[in-house]
Structure 1
């Protein structure tokens, strides 16, 4: 087994996942979870440990951080399978200059759980607090502020300290140099800390800030066409089970749906809805086109179209055709165009199960939401035409 494979068998951090939540008196309490090993009647088994924003923890039962501490100490909860042997850890020489992350311990894991709870509440984690201390030291590089950096650094769970700077090459070496008192060896076996070493670390952080600012200015030029203000809140266009065949007296966002009754002309033909137009144009045979166009309901038009032979290469052409149909609908119905324009620059999520996932938004990793994206395109065209 190569050293890399051996190292990957060590548990040096917990893989937290989310979102998850529980309801308490109708209130949503957000959470995050990771895997741990739990002792049962027949040995250890893997289980989910969920930490919630209110400080409670669930792993089979519900308890608090102190009870988690007791369960870790007693072996009821473990961070790795106690029944599997752990290979000898690779030696590190010298320790101060390059190292693996510290192995996770019960105390370190408790600190990690505490960080997750803080993050769920929108409060700074120990890593964030360490960065705040670093920034304070940059502004005022006094001895008192250096000691505050050390206090904040040591508050980070030991197995996570190596990642705090996000520097793959130097890891947390600059911090370990800074928090070491002058005259003491860095990391216990490194060079003796000097005032010059501390000044070099300060310049390291200042140079990093300058690099960040230069990148920010550079991307501000590259992305100069992005909106200055935050965009409007996303909207969701839900499918209606039994859409009306007559337009309502006062149309709402439903007017943006493909099943909304808004007759429009396209290529010399008039279609009652986008659904009618889409499937009629898709049909390879003219007689099928006419049957779909004249279907009494959206459902009938869709069912008839889905059973017909489609035009060659329809999968390639369909996005452009849908864009043309939507463009015709909204340019021929100014009142509906106003509804579309009223959504400002909001992302449009077009849901439903009657239309293909290609057209609809079905959550993370599912659906391509092409109708929603095309509606945003037509909205932009309408906004441009008003200039």
Structure 2
């Protein structure tokens, strides 16, 4: 059943009625505890000081810790909100009085954001960081049970799960941009009671219509899955291997170690190979030698005693005028030569399966390295994945 929200609630902004739509949580962030990474998320709030209120970052972490001008847990967050030490908007700014238009039962805007609702939102973030179901996930699971077996007990299960969702987030639980959570409001209303307090009286026929709505959504999801299965038939159906990171080493050896590991993926790994009739000690030697505009500079870089000397020499000499335009293709060719001429190294690369390869470091330019979401294009990592695919294709005779 397609019940996931289309992108979730908007950022921390007022809707047209003046009601807060919810907080905007941002990831990734983390903290280290005894060397262990604890993932987290953060959002903006307002904190009180002697000079008044000012914006601050509030962090929540997978272990339940919350930080915002000090450390607390969910209970502590609730208390600080109650005391006014933390506020969800600037208390010193006069906000327009919220107004509602039309009946409450059919409203298509969120409930106002309250302190208790924000605590529930923070708790959902903690659940999500741990890979556990959020209140919205539990509600969608209750809906699935009801659709499979539409009994009164299961309907009450949907009601209980729906009411645990922070009120300002309920309109997003179905991901229906047209009807929001109106079908759920109808379903969770007991027979003979007005929907939302001011709507039509809930009847058995109304509940049957809601059940048909969910069943139609199920059929639509199944059709979508069949369509995607056809369009993406060339994608792996198996769970992929987790991403791996190839980290730079400060003092790489000049000779290959006895035991091969993922260090073989590095451009500074000592693995002499032939490329266009010339022998290069490492990929970095070859890359910077070929970048040089002058033949004598090429030979000097190629014959450098260490990777560092080759790199520094290449960075000081005039480069080919077209180098920026061709360098990615040259790097691909050098990696191909390295791994096809060293079967042992190829086996290590192939052992990474379909894992995404992140190639980190500060000695090579951001064009080649993975430096997080804001910098770095990770082209060496991408080309290693391409070389891996070419090795497999060659084995398969393709």
**Same fold by TM (over 0.5)?**
yes
- TM-superposition CA deviations, 1:268-292 (whole Å, max 9, x none): 2222211121112122222222222
Inter-CA distance 337–70: structure 2 relative to 1 (3 Å threshold): closer
Are 1:359 and 2:368 an aligned pair?
A: yes
Shift of 1:159: 0.7
Are 1:82 and 2:97 an aligned pair?
A: no
Structure 2 distance, partners of 1:67, 1:298, is: 54
In the other structure, the counterpart of 2:380 is 371
- My pick for the range that moved more, 167-176 or 67-76, is 67-76
Name which of 145, 161, 172 aligns with 1:152: 161
Name which of 164, 167, 170 aligns with 2:179: 170
In the other structure, the counterpart of 1:242 is 251
8 A Cα contact 1:177 1:186, kept in partner = yes
Are 1:104 and 2:113 an aligned pair?
A: yes
In the other structure, the counterpart of 2:356 is 347
Name which of 303, 316, 319 aligns with 1:294: 303
In the other structure, the counterpart of 2:147 is 138
| TM-score, length-scaled by structure 1 | 0.91
Shift of 1:161: 0.8
Shift of 1:27: 5.4
8 A Cα contact 1:10 1:86, kept in partner = no
Question: Which structure 1 segments of 5+ residues have no match?
Answer: none
Structure 1 distance, partners of 2:127, 2:322, is: 54
Shift of 1:168: 0.9
In the other structure, the counterpart of 2:192 is 183
Are 1:37 and 2:41 an aligned pair?
A: no
Question: Which structure 2 segments of 5+ residues have no match?
Answer: 1-12
Are 1:336 and 2:358 an aligned pair?
A: no
- The secondary structure found in structure 2 opposite 1:48 is strand
In the other structure, the counterpart of 2:279 is 270
Inter-CA distance 358–9: structure 2 relative to 1 (3 Å threshold): farther
**Bigger relative contact order, structure 1 or 2, given CA contacts below 8 A and separation 6+?**
2
In the other structure, the counterpart of 1:126 is 135
8 A Cα contact 2:18 2:99, kept in partner = no
8 A Cα contact 1:55 1:65, kept in partner = yes
In the other structure, the counterpart of 2:330 is 321
Shift of 1:47: 2.4
| TM-score, length-scaled by structure 2 | 0.88
1:151-230 equivalences under 5 Å are 151-230=160-239
- The secondary structure found in structure 1 opposite 2:16 is helix
- The secondary structure found in structure 2 opposite 1:45 is strand
8 A Cα contact 2:272 2:338, kept in partner = yes
Shift of 1:112: 1.9
Name which of 303, 306, 315 aligns with 2:312: 303
- TM-superposition CA deviations, 1:2-26 (whole Å, max 9, x none): xx97639643312223344455566
- The secondary structure found in structure 2 opposite 1:123 is coil
Structure 2 distance, partners of 1:23, 1:368, is: 26
